Structure 1
Amino acid sequence: MTDLSARRAHPVAGLAAFLVVVAAVAVVGSLSAVSAASDYAALRQPSWAPPSWLFGPVWTVLYVMIAFSGWLAWRAGSRRGLVLFGAQLVLNAAWTPLFFAAGEFGLALVDIVLLLVCIVAVIVVFARRSRVAAGLLVPYLLWVGFATALNASIWTAN
């Protein structure tokens, strides 16, 4: 079966695979941040820092959107986009262990800046094949942009 016929014949299996992969990224983050709420509360933060309870719901919605975006791009045949998509997932998975488990705020900032650049690249490449796939990543881009500013602020204050 060719790649194109696999995308057409097994769309639900493809979606399930994207959901599982993105969920694995979320699990890596949650396992390395078991005390994140108390660690976050103990940090010197800017006045505009959101409460810790907000992160879980926001990331849940974003992860679902990320998975759907990847699936749509896969269905549209965006191979280069999927390589970039995988790279951004790796960078995403690395941030929480760097920031919370290791307390390496500077390295986490480098990681999140690279993540931000990678998300922009994914959006650009996905847009060539699927504007919906690209559009689903815009809230993620905005949130990671906000998180980058928050990471930088926490790094300088702590």
Structure 2
Amino acid sequence: MPVQINWPAVGAVALPHVGGIAGGIITKRAIKSWYENLKRPDWRPPNWAFAPVWTSLYTGMGYASYLVWRDGGGFEGAARLPLVVYGSNLLFNWAWTPIFFGARDIKLALIEMQLVNATAVATAFLFHRINPIAGLLIVPYCLWLSVATTLNYVIYRDNKDNPKIKEIKEN
């Protein structure tokens, strides 16, 4: 019996990873030349933890979006608004990395992170109305965003008085 591939589910799961891969490339370039030279809290997750955490979160988010698309009538049904909010969240999420690691603008990244947080919570709420499991799949993402937001804030607070923060180069 041939294997049936659910292409809408595959596409929905793959989509969040597009920005994640691009962000990973930007991040990798800035880790040693910039990020490692910032004052960072001792409680921060180790650098190696970010890739598997984001991979898991993006996979769950993508599958949740598929459940909502499937159960909410796609873009022509009740799923339209939740999927638009989710799409906005992905764009805000993907924008954070170029702001923080690319432009090295910690304050703007912190401000932009509030858009990520607001649309993530809205996504969880709206997804839950269509498919409760989909809403719950967004909860770990929201929890991780609280860690990421706090980390962004502490890095901003501890480095904001350094006038050369954007100029830190590799030794």
TM-score (norm 2): 0.82
SS of alignment partner, residue 120 of structure 1: helix
Structure-to-structure mapping, 1:45-124, within 5 angstroms: 45-77=40-72, 78-124=79-125
Distance, in Å, in 2 between the alignment partners of 1:11 and 1:36 is 38
Unaligned runs of 5+ in 1: 1-9
Change over 3 Å in CA distance of 1:11–1:69 after alignment to 2 = farther
Can you list the C-alpha shifts for 1:23-56, whole angstroms capped at 9, x where unaligned? 2111221122222432332210112111111111
Among the aligned pairs, what percent are the same residue?
Answer: 36
One-letter amino acid of the structure 2 residue matched with residue 79 of structure 1: R
Deviates more, 1:86-95 or 1:12-21: 12-21
SS of alignment partner, residue 144 of structure 2: helix
One-letter amino acid of the structure 1 residue matched with residue 59 of structure 2: V
* Residue 137 (structure 1) aligns with: 138
Question: Which structure features the higher share of helix residues?
Answer: 1
Larger Rg: 2
- Matched pairs, number: 149
**CA shift at 1:129, angstroms?**
0.8
Can you list the C-alpha shifts for 1:30-87, whole angstroms capped at 9, x where unaligned? 1222224323322101121111111111111111111111111111111110000000
* Residue 6 (structure 1) aligns with: none
Q: CA RMSD in A?
A: 1.5
One-letter amino acid of the structure 2 residue matched with residue 28 of structure 1: A
One-letter amino acid of the structure 1 residue matched with residue 46 of structure 2: P
TM-score (norm 1): 0.89
